[in-house]
């Protein structure tokens, strides 16, 4: 099909913008950088496997507080709770394609978070006392499915909270125009952990501390561009 001068100009402009958008991603950082990203992705997956191995009793700590006892169970919150993996993997794909340094920092943050959390799971195991849910609506059934697929251990610190917060922090670094909706969604994921009684408030606090500590450490070493520059790059 013949393209007119205007169409060719638009096509070339789009190609230039796409290349500019992707120039910090895995396809434009050389084979060593790309290999490092792949190796980190594999390491992150392997590190995540320890969760199931440690998800058993006996427990040593029971961290329920009066706040936890006062909070109702809201089955609707199972929706953000179940969205964690798409939230993480979708974000990591974007980081990998567009800002490999952000990808590397996010993955390293999660690997260290997994390993630190496993120390708690192995030596200071915690337990959540789950309610018996009698409802028959779809959200209550989804909560029961969560309970059936996950033992009530491995609670402090909350990996749901820490990993979703790590991703939100890295989106902030990626470009601040993305910040508000993604921080809100990460907040809903964190809130969901107590609203469907998978965690206690103390578990949220532990997850937040880990997320900020690891993210700030690795971002400071792997992505030193000023935040304003990063935001401008994301708008290209």
Each residue's pLDDT tens digit, 142-163: 999 999 999 999 999 999 999 9
pLDDT at 43 over 90: yes
Q: How many other β-carbons are positioned within 10 Å of the β-carbon of residue 143?
A: 26
| pLDDT interval class at 212 (50, 70, 90) | very high
Find the DSSP H helices in the chain: 5-22, 30-48, 50-54, 66-70, 78-82, 84-98, 100-123, 138-149, 159-174, 179-195, 201-222, 227-234
Q: Which residue has the higher pLDDT, 27 or 156?
A: 156
pLDDT at 178: 67
| pLDDT interval class at 24 (50, 70, 90) | confident
- Where does residue 95 rank: exposed (0-12), middle (13-18), buried (19+ CB within 10 A)? buried
pLDDT at 232 over 50: no
pLDDT at 230: 46
- Mean pLDDT within 181-189: 93
pLDDT at 223: 82
pLDDT at 5: 57
pLDDT at 50: 97
Q: CA–CA separation, 120 vs 51, rounded Å?
A: 11
The least confident of 82-91, 184-193, 218-227 is: 218-227
Q: How many other β-carbons are positioned within 10 Å of the β-carbon of residue 218?
A: 23
CB 187 within 8 A of CB 232: no
By percentage, how much of the chain surpasses pLDDT 90? 77
Write the pLDDT tens digit of every residue in 79-101. Answer: 999 999 999 999 999 999 999 99
pLDDT at 203: 98
pLDDT at 6: 57
pLDDT at 11 over 60: no
pLDDT at 116 over 90: yes
């Amino acid at each position: 099909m013949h393209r007119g001068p205007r169409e060719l100009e638009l096509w070339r402009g789009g190609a230039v913008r796409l290349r500019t958008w992707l120039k910090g991603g895995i396809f434009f950082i050389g084979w060593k950088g790309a290999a490092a990203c792949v190796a980190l992705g594999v390491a992150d997956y392997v590190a995540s496997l320890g969760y199931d191995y440690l998800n058993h009793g006996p427990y040593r700590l029971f961290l329920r507080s009066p706040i936890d006892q006062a909070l109702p169970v809201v089955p609707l919150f199972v929706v953000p709770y179940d969205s964690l993996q798409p939230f993480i993997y979708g974000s990591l794909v974007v980081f990998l394609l567009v800002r490999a340094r952000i990808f590397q920092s996010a993955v390293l943050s999660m690997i260290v978070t997994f390993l630190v959390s496993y120390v708690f799971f192995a030596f200071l195991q915690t337990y959540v006392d789950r309610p018996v849910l009698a409802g028959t609506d779809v959200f209550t059934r989804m909560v029961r499915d969560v309970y059936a697929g996950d033992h009530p251990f491995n609670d402090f610190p909350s990996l749901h909270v820490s990993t979703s917060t790590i991703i939100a922090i890295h989106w902030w670094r990626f470009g601040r125009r993305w910040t508000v909706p993604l921080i809100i969604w990460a907040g809903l994921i964190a809130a969901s952990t107590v609203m469907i009684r998978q965690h206690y408030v103390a578990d949220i606090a532990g997850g937040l501390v880990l997320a900020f500590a690891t993210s700030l450490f690795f971002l400071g070493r792997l992505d030193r561009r000023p935040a304003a520059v990063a935001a401008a790059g994301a708008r290209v």
